A and B are shown apart, each in its own frame.
Chain A
Amino acid sequence: MDIELVEIPKWNCCGAVSSLTADDVMHHVAPIRNLIRVIEMNEEGLVNDEKRLIVFCSMCFNVLRRSNKRVKEDPKFLETINSFMDEERDYDGSVKVMHFLEILRDIGFYKVKERVKKPLKGLKVSAYYGCTLLRPRGVGIDDPEAPSIMEKFIESLGAEVVDNPYKSLCCGSYHTVGGNKELVAERAYKIINAARERGADLIITSCPLCAFNLDNRQELTKKIHPDFEHMPVLYFTQLMALAMGMESETGFDGNYIDPRPLLRERGFLEG
């Protein structure tokens, strides 16, 4: 696609959830440190005058973009962070945080279509956006009430879009840890059933935590609701790899509900 992605050397975990309080500086340090790395990459010649940081995970994207926005809007806040990280060069707010889907949209989904080797004709795919790709307004990459970017992505791969009224209903996120897992399993039930009722074969998502909750938590969903039928949940790049003929890159081994039987049956996978 004529995009060369260069990984940040020594990136650190951004924290996964954005700190929402007015007075907390500490939890913005992690994301800003990553943005400083991007500037260093420019200085060290790893990239040439390129300040776009491309993020695949919706949660990382949300955290990085929010912290970036915060420091840009509040110079005093940025100064505090810079003076705290006295071992690093200062951050100046110049990095642009983008989700990979935004890059695809900028380049044009028709370009994605051109690269597709095996159009997923007849495969019915439902998009699951979750929260952090869309909300809040001003941070998300699409209309939070009526998003369409993932649908365009699905279409560009030749698959058929299946709408889901719960496509941006929270899956329960980090409630998957500790004593409230049922909250997640119940939401998976709601979201997956709604997709099935409309004829979907599988669901895609761009958030690894949503993927875990909708995929791995199906075990618990099935326990609570014996009538529940499993459905494969793919990370959006897995579907892209499949359509672009990069089967070895699909990583289906990591899925809890194995999508391969379905994909073989439909002729999208050999053997």
Chain B
Amino acid sequence: MTETIIIKDRNIDLLRLASEISGEVITLCEQCGICTTSCPMAEDMDITPASIMRYTQLGDEFVLETRAIWYCASCFSCTVRCPRGIDLAKVAEALRQIKLRKNQDYLKIDELKEEAEELPAIALVSAMRKYTG
């Protein structure tokens, strides 16, 4: 069975934007899946890291609505193993930034309340850098 994928200008835009922000050559990905097998978060993601790459290659904006781009913890497990030398952590960061730069935060910091006084600064600072724009 064949599936036809129609690539529109809009799709190219997302690929181009993600490539520019990440500085990575996203089209190099050959879908080997080593990132997925290396990823400690993959089991809890809605799509796998390799799929993040694939959707981004196709410029499918669906990727921006996935949980996976936020569950990526920038642990660089995939980064050290990708046979194509792609830094997927950077691609995920770019996708998050595309949302954050549009003022779409992942974390509502006003809702943290008491939690915030128990957490160490290192947790709060890193979460705010990753989850808020």
Task: Show the binding face of A for B, using Cβ within 8 Å.
Answer: 13, 15-24, 27, 57, 59, 131, 135-137, 144-145, 168-170, 172-178, 180, 183, 187, 208-209, 212
Contacts and interface: CB of A to CB of B under 8 A. Distances in A.
Interface of B: 20-23, 40-41, 44, 71, 73-77, 79-80, 87, 89-90, 93-94, 97, 107, 112, 115, 119-127, 129-131
Nearest to B120: A212
A59 B74 CA distance: 12
A246 B17 CA distance: 54
25 contacts: A17-B74, A17-B130, A18-B74, A20-B93, A21-B90, A22-B21, A22-B22, A22-B23, A22-B90, A57-B122, A131-B73, A131-B76, A136-B76, A145-B80, A169-B40, A170-B40, A170-B41, A170-B75, A174-B126, A174-B130, A176-B119, A178-B127, A180-B71, A183-B44, A209-B122
A26 to B, nearest CB: 11
A15 B76 CA distance: 18
B129 A13 contact: no
The 6 closest A-B pairs by CB, nearest first: A22-B23, A170-B75, A135-B76, A177-B127, A20-B93, A16-B126
B123 A187 contact: no
Contact of B126 (A17, A135, A136): A17
B123 A177 contact: yes
B75 A21 contact: no
B87 A16 contact: no
Nearest to A166: B40
Nearest to B97: A21
Nearest to A16: B126
Contacts of A131: 73-77
Contact of A13 (B44, B107, B125): B125
Which of A131, A145, A168 neighbours the largest number of chain B CB atoms within 10 Å of its CB? A131
A209 B122 CA distance: 6
Given A135-B75, A137-B80, A170-B41, A20 B122 contact: no
A174 B80 contact: no
A135 B81 CA distance: 11
A23 B73 contact: no
A21 B44 CA distance: 25
B21 A136 contact: no
A57 B90 CA distance: 22
Nearest to A20: B93
